[in-house]
Structure 1
Amino acid sequence: MPQSTTWARQAGHPGYSRTLSRALSSAATARRLTYTALSCWGLDELADDAALVVSELVANAVQHARRESIRVVVERTGLRTVRVAVADFSRVRPVARAVGEGDEDGRGLALVEELAVGWGADERRWGKVVWAELQAAG
C-alpha cells in the first residue's frame, strides 16, 4: 500500500509526498497528488503543466531506475513557485537527448525543460532526486 505524508515547511507552506510502485500506472497517482497540492495552494494555473512534468519524471524513473518503488514529492518553494520531484534508487543522472521526428520516445526531458523554470538531479547516497520547478505568472 502506498504511503502518503504531508508536512509543514518552516515558512508554513505544506509539502506532499507519496511512495509509489515503480510502474507506469503510478503516473496517474502522481498527477492526482500534484493537482491536490496545487489546488490547496491556490496555484491552479500551474496544475496542468506540473501534472505533465511529474508524469514525465515518473515515466523516466519507471524506465531507468532500480528497485520496486519511487517517491513523488510536491513542495511549495515560494509564493508562486512549486517543485515537483521524483526520488529513485538509481544514481544514473537523466540526460536530455536529441530526438528525431519519427522517434516515439525520448521527448520527456525536453518537455520538462520547456515547461519548467529549472530542473535538475540531486545525487543521494541511495540514488537521486530529479526535480523541476514551475512558477506562476505575477
Structure 2
Amino acid sequence: MSMFETAAIGNPAYTTTLPRLPESARRARRLVSSALHLWELEEAEDAALIVISELVSNAVAHARSESIRVIVTRQDAHVVQLAVVDLSRELPELRLSGSDDESGRGLALVDALSDGKWGAETLPWGKRVWAELTVAKEQPSE
C-alpha cells in the first residue's frame, strides 16, 4: 500500500494524511518532491520544499486535530499548488516580524516564493491553506 494517494478526477494531484507532528514536514517534502519529479517540474523543487515546510509547520503549531492533509496539485503545465488542510477554522495572517522575533516569518516566505499567490479558506470542518508556484517556461533557443 502506498503512503500517497492520487486524485480520481480533475487536475493531477497527490495527497496524504499525516500526524500533526513536526516530523511530518519531512514526509510532506518527500510527497512534493516525488510529485514534481513525476511531472518533470524539478525547477520548482527548492521553493516548493520551503513552502510546504512552512505550511505544515503552521498547521502543526495552530491546528486542533491529530492529523493534517497535504495536497500537491498540478494546476496546469507550469503551475503547482501546495495545500495543507486541518481542522482549525482560524485563518493564518501574514505579519511583519522584527529581527528579534523567533517566529512569524513563515508566511512571509510563502508569500515571497509564491509571488503572492497564496491564500486560506474556511471549510465546514476547518481550513485549507494553499500556495501556487509557477515553473519558469523554457525559452526557445535561437
User: What is the TM-score with the length of structure 2 in the denominator?
Assistant: 0.91
Q: How many residue pairs are counted as aligned between the two chains?
A: 135
Identify the match of residue 21 of structure 1 among 19, 22, 25.
19
Counterpart for residue 65 of structure 1 = 63
Query: Residue 97 of structure 1 aligns to a residue in which SS?
Result: coil
Tell me the SS of whatever aligns to 2:100: coil
Q: Deviations over 1:22-72 (max 9, x none)?
A: 000000000000000000000000011011100000000000110100000
Aligned to 2:120: 121
Q: Do the aligned partners of residues 85 and 92 (structure 1) sit closer, same or farther apart at CA in structure 2, a change above 3 Å counting? A: same
Q: Can you give the 5+ residue segments of structure 1 that lack an aligned partner in the other structure? A: none
The aligned counterpart of 2:109 is 111
Q: Determine which structure has more spread, i.e. the larger CA radius of gyration.
A: 2
Partner of 2:100: 102
Identical residues among aligned pairs (%)? 51
Task: Check whether the contact 2:118–2:129 (CA below 8 A) recurs between aligned residues.
Answer: yes
Q: What is the SS of the residue equivalent to 1:104?
A: coil
Structure 1 runs of 4+ aligned residues shifted over 3 Å read none
Long gaps (5+) in structure 2: 138-142
The one-character-per-residue Cα deviations of 1:79-136 (angstroms, maximum 9, x if unpaired) are: 1000000000000000011111111111000000000030001110000000000001
Q: Quick one: which amino acid aligns to residue 56 of structure 1?
A: E
